């Protein structure tokens, strides 16, 4: 079995970095020459594109000329859409105009990489600094697949509409969300980006925090501990027992108790007892299968700080 320790692992990565850097040193890097932008900037564009949704951009932060960072502080529409003198002329023998140099969206003829390069030209820092390692980047998703720039409110940046945008691709989560227990997503109290950073994160599953439990503790602070009596799978990983996007069981559990507990606990007497239909009243007494199951007694499964709470009953 291969043994991989941290220092050799780091060495591998550094070696890879060095090799890659050498291999790519000569690539790219050519600045384009001065481009023929429209003399009147956005006013030229709006000679034709004078209706929403195009003009909605004027009411968004992207268009604010007073902010030197924005597209409109440079070449207005063409900062993003590229210098497009060809678009100002009709094709010979046609009423159509060639498209602008850069268009956005999943149906755009502009390659995704080129589209995203425009956005990342300004937005590469902060939450997006790990974009190149993200699942959405690897899936060749353009920024405009999710973001609507020509809108006074981008649906994906609005708490009550964000999930609908995410669900257009994440259809399994859309179905889970309809199940018996769920987070308050529809109500906008918990939204996808409260937990995930779709632009690339340093944790698993595009989680905002670098570890899953740290993320859960941001809202469930009472479960953070540390406790005197810890429950190993709880401290290990919340998703050992819970499934966060929705469950057919209460409390987002993968499987209900007692069977969930019995996947680890097979101690003598009642932990290993078979609880079947025979355990239900009137043939059975019911307290280990009805209501809260094992939690009818073991009430502090997330950890107890009571000196007598070793069995999670205090």
Partner 1 sequence: MRKRSATLLQTAALWLLPMAAVAQEMDFDIGEAKPKEPKPIYTSEVELGVGWVSEDSYKFGEYSGLETKGPFIIGNLSLQIRDPYDSGDGEYYTLTGTNLGLESRAIRAEYGKQGKFGLFALYAATPKYLHDDARTPYIISNDGASLTLPANWVPGNRNTAQMTNLVADLQDVNIKYQRQKYGGGFAWLAAQGWTVRSSFTRENKTGDQTIAAIFGSTGGNPAAAIVPEPINYETDNFDVSLGFAGKKGHFVLSYNLSVFRDNNDGLLFQNAYTGSWPASVSYPTGYGLLGLPPDNKAHHVRFAGSYLISPTTRATANISYGHLTQNDPFLPFTINPGILAPIALPRDSLDGEIDTILATFGVTSQVTPKFNMRANYRFEDRDNNTPRDIFVVVPADSANQGTLASSTARINQPYSRKQHMVEVEGAYRLSGGAKLTLGYAYDQLERTFSEVSKTKEHSIKGKLNANPSATVHTWVSVEYADRNGSDYDDNIAVISSHTDEFLGPDPEEEFDNHPLMRKYFIADRNRLKVQGSANWLADDKLTFTLVGRYNDDDYNKSTIGLTKSRQFTGTLDASYQVSDAISYQVYYTYQRLRYDQIALSWSSTTPPADMVNFGLRGWTNDIRDKIHTVGFAAEWAAIEDKLDLGFDYYFSRAVTSSDMTAGTALTLAPLPDLKTTLHNIDVKADYHYSKQMWLRLRYQFQSYRVTDYALDGVEPNTMRFAIGLGNQGPDYDVHVIGLSTIYRF
Smallest gap from Cβ 119 to partner 1, in A, equals: 14
Q: By CB under 8 A, how many residues form the interface with partner 1?
A: 145
Determine which residue in the list 35, 59, 117, 205 makes contact with partner 1, applying CB under 8 A: 59
Residues in contact with partner 1, shown as a per-residue x/- string from 179 to 218 under the rule CB under 8 A: xx---x-xxxx------------x-------xx--x--xx
Smallest gap from Cβ 243 to partner 1, in A, equals: 9
Smallest gap from Cβ 60 to partner 1, in A, equals: 8
Determine which residue in the list 58, 149, 157, 253 makes contact with partner 1, applying CB under 8 A: 58
Smallest gap from Cβ 102 to partner 1, in A, equals: 19
Smallest gap from Cβ 58 to partner 1, in A, equals: 5
DSSP string, the chain: -----HHHHHHHHHHHHHHHHHHHTTSS-PPPPPP---TTTHHHHTTT--STTGGGGGGSGGG-TTSTTSGGGTTTHHHHH---GGGGSPPTTSS--PPPS---STT-SS-HHHHHHHHHHHH-SGGGTTGGGSHHHHTT--GGGT---SSSS-GGGSTTTHHHHHHTT-HHHHHHTTSSB--STTTTSS-HHHHB-TT--SSGGGBSSSSHHHHHHTT-GGG----SB--HHHHH-GGGTB-TT-BSSGGGBSS-TTHHHHTT---TTGGG---SGGGSTTTS--TTTSTTGGGGT---TT-B-STT-TTS--
Q: Of 107-126, which residues contact partner 1 (CB under 8 A)?
A: 107, 124-126
Smallest gap from Cβ 217 to partner 1, in A, equals: 7
Determine which residue in the list 159, 196, 208, 242 makes contact with partner 1, applying CB under 8 A: 159
Given the complex with partner 1, which of 147 and 296 has the nearer CB atom?
296
Residue 84: how many other CB atoms lie within 10 Å: 22
Q: Of 4-23, which residues contact partner 1 (CB under 8 A)?
A: 4-6, 9-10, 12-13, 16-17, 20-21, 23
CA distance 83 to 39: 11
Contact between 161 and partner 1 per CB under 8 A:
no
Smallest gap from Cβ 121 to partner 1, in A, equals: 10
Determine which residue in the list 154, 196, 233, 253 makes contact with partner 1, applying CB under 8 A: 233
Residues in contact with partner 1, shown as a per-residue x/- string from 62 to 101 under the rule CB under 8 A: -xxxxxxxx-x------------x--xx------------
């Amino acid at each position: 079995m291969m043994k991989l320790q941290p220092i050799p692992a780091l060495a591998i990565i550094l070696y890879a970095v060095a090799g890659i850097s050498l291999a790519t040193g000569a690539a790219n890097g050519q600045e384009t020459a001065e481009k023929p932008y429209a003399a009147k900037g956005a006013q030229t564009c709006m000679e034709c594109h004078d209706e929403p949704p195009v003009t909605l951009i004027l009411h968004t932060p992207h268009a604010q000329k007073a902010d030197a960072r924005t597209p409109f502080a440079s070449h207005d529409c063409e900062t993003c859409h590229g210098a497009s003198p060809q678009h100002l002329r009709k094709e010979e023998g046609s009423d159509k105009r060639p498209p602008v140099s850069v268009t956005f969206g999943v149906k755009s003829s502009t390659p995704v990489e080129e589209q995203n390069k425009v956005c990342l030209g300004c937005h590469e820092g902060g939450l997006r600094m790990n974009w190149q390692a993200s699942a959405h980047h690897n899936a060749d998703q353009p920024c405009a697949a999710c973001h609507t720039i020509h809108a006074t409110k981008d649906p994906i940046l609005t708490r009550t509409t964000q999930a609908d945008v995410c669900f257009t691709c994440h259809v399994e989560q859309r179905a889970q969300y309809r199940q018996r227990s769920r987070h308050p997503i529809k109500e906008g109290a918990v939204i996808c980006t409260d937990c995930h950073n779709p632009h690339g994160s340093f944790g698993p599953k595009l989680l905002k925090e670098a570890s899953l439990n740290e993320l859960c503790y941001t809202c469930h602070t009472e479960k953070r501990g540390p406790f005197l009596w810890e429950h190993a799978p709880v401290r290990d990983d919340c998703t050992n027992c819970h499934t966060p996007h929705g469950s057919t069981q209460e409390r987002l559990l993968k499987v209900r108790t007692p069977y969930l507990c019995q996947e680890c606990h097979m101690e003598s007497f009642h932990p290993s007892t078979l609880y079947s239909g025979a355990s239900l009243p009137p043939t059975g007494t019911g307290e280990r299968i009805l209501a809260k199951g094992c939690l009818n007694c073991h009430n502090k499964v997330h950890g107890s700080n009571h000196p007598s709470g070793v069995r999670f009953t205090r």
